[in-house]
A and B are shown apart, each in its own frame.
Chain A
Amino acid sequence: MSGFWREYAENRIALLALLVVAVLVGAALGAPWIAPQDPYDLAGLDLMDARRPPGHVGSGGYVHLLGTDAQGRDLFSAILYGLRISLQMGLVAGAVAMSIGALLGILAAQAGGWVETAIMRVVDLQLSFPAILLALVLVAVLGQGKTQLVIALVAAQYAYFARTAYGAASAERRKDYVEAAAATPLSTARIVLRHVLPNVMPPLIVVGTVQVANAISLEATLSFLGLGLPPTEPSLGMLIANGFQYMMSGRTWISVYPGIALIVLIIAINLVGDQLRDQTNPRLRR
């Protein structure tokens, strides 16, 4: 474990990325204490403060570091709360998709026969068209809301986890230690949960890291298109969408700052995921 960490720390960029992720997660968690304003409290918004540039001192008596949006929300506060929602959606959707995907993938590898064929053909079919298409259709059908959004994100992403889990599990299942467990004999449930699953986890965690970033960007895309969360609780994607109409009027900050926050978050998570992938892939080891 310490060796793993030392190797990770050797990559300065990955280390920086991890730091950025930690800071952003910390900021999201601490939003209620850090943010000068509660952007969800509509009564606390003053339209007199709307569309003010960064540095403006508003009616609340504090500096709007990143300016305000069309409703007079402090953008810095809105971004912190938006990060919260984006991370929440990404992590919940990623975790649920990972659980479902791992379950299906391992089940397919373990059961074999027509179960394997059925599950993996559906997964292949789904991987063959863009995730956003499926998410769009689902959100359109299910309607808006956090639960519906998570369902759409999970449906769009579980297939990646299922593929990974299936590949890893079918490789692990053929190894002698699984045969040794079956020869004891131990129950199939125990073999799958205690022997196969722990050895399937490393590739899943790597895919999971990248998929959390993908879920966040998918959520942002859906929100930008107006199919995400209700506008009263803006995520990063919706903040960008809200500011988009003012881009041509020179009030670029309304879109640009949430955009930067989103890009930094996604890139940092991806860099961490890439490093984890490189470190767990024996073929890339020095």
Chain B
Amino acid sequence: MTGLVVAEGLTRRFDPRLSLGDRIAALLGAAVETRPVRAVTDVSFVVRQGETLGLVGESGCGKSTLGRMVAGILPPTSGTVRIGGAPVMRGGRKTTTRIQTVFQDPFASLNPRRRIGKIISEGPLAHGLVTRARVPAFVAEWLARVGLDPAVATRFPHQFSGGQRQRVAIARALAMKPDILVCDEPVASLDVSIQAQILNLFLELREALGLTCLFISHDLSVVRHVSHRVAIMYLGRIVEVGPAAQVYAAPRHPYTRALLDSVPRLRLDDAAVSFRPIAGELPSPLAPPPGCAFHPRCPRASERCRRERPELAASAEEAAVACHHPHEDPVA
């Protein structure tokens, strides 16, 4: 299994933080939640050099947690992420600058009390990627690359719109000269008209810099637009992975199919809006269903699905699906 980014057996559990009072109450039988949340369970995947892997799933499926572990922000409960063989984190601390992150909300991800120039140059300066004397030119260069006027370096984040802030956030991430970029819902909080601009900027810079990307989104059309391969997550696990065109054209996992069918679409033939919402609700990650986590909502579920959890076939394969009764293989 080769890849620039190799994630193996990533699991993240969140234990509830109980105060002494909560613990006593729990012992006495009060309804205090003591079960851990399993945000991500045993996820393995690779991202190849120069490729963009799209990670799709509903809210709460663990895709952001997975992204944070890959980016070295959150230490996994177990499992490892390696970049070119070297672990991203050691002893709970990130040890590499090769992977950088663009966050979802540009209103929260920029320190309100720092000037734009400082925001962009702080990391490179701290890691010796630029000399102090070169900082103004360096900042101007990056602002220009993300389509902002170099003169804005002295402004504060609140003087910018959401789209402009996200440009700053992208400049901050790329100024660290990373090989890999994790984009955690980078356009989800932007207006639709701005989304396209930011996505185009992202595609442009990805080509120019030869970036490898993990692109996280709940928006299927955005992911299709930017990804070479996609991975579909459901309740903390990857249920299907494969080349984007193939997964979108012929989804094999019933969940992937249901997810694609649930997207509202304008149909030209009868001018009606057609979509089918997925039946039921996302189960609680506190108590995932036994067997296949999707079986309570799955039209194809059998007795076997209730007992036995389907494994994702070896992730080295180009395409894989974790299902006992997948839709038939696409014609090669």
Contacts and interface: CB of A to CB of B under 8 A. Distances in A.
Interface string B260-294: 00000000000000000000000000000000000
**Closest 6 CB pairs between A and B?**
A176-B108, A176-B109, A184-B123, A185-B94, A177-B111, A198-B113
A16 interface: no
A177 B110 contact: yes
Contact of B101 (A183, A186, A198, A199): A183
A198 to B, nearest CB: 5
Nearest to B107: A176
Contacts of B113: 198-199
B92 to A, nearest CB: 11
B298 interface: no
Contacts of A187: 126
A175 interface: yes
Interface in A168-192: 175-177, 179-187, 190
Interface string B58-97: 0000000000100111000000000000000000011101
**Which of A177, A182, A194 neighbours the largest number of chain B CB atoms within 10 Å of its CB?**
A177
Contacts, number: 57
By size class, the interface of chain A is 10 to 19
A279 to B, nearest CB: 16
B43 interface: no
A31 to B, nearest CB: 38
Contacts of B122: 181, 184, 186, 194
A263 to B, nearest CB: 37
B176 interface: yes
B172 A185 contact: no
B97 A199 contact: no
Nearest to A177: B111
A184 B97 contact: yes
B52 interface: no
B81 to A, nearest CB: 13
A186 B108 contact: no
Given A184-B97, A184-B100, A198-B113, A179 B123 contact: no
A183 B73 contact: yes
A183 B71 contact: yes
A195 interface: yes
Given A176-B109, A177-B109, A199-B111, A182 B94 contact: yes
Contacts of A185: 72, 93-95, 97
A46 B172 CA distance: 72
Contacts of B103: 176, 179-180
B110 A183 contact: no
A156 B113 CA distance: 32
Contacts of B51: none
B69 to A, nearest CB: 11
B112 interface: yes
B141 interface: no
Contact of B123 (A176, A186, A198, A199): A186
A186 B112 CA distance: 18
Given A184-B176, A198-B113, A199-B113, A176 B105 contact: yes
Contacts of A177: 108-112
B128 to A, nearest CB: 13
Q: Which of A179, A182, A184, A195 has the most CB of B within 10 A?
A: A184
A175 B113 CA distance: 13
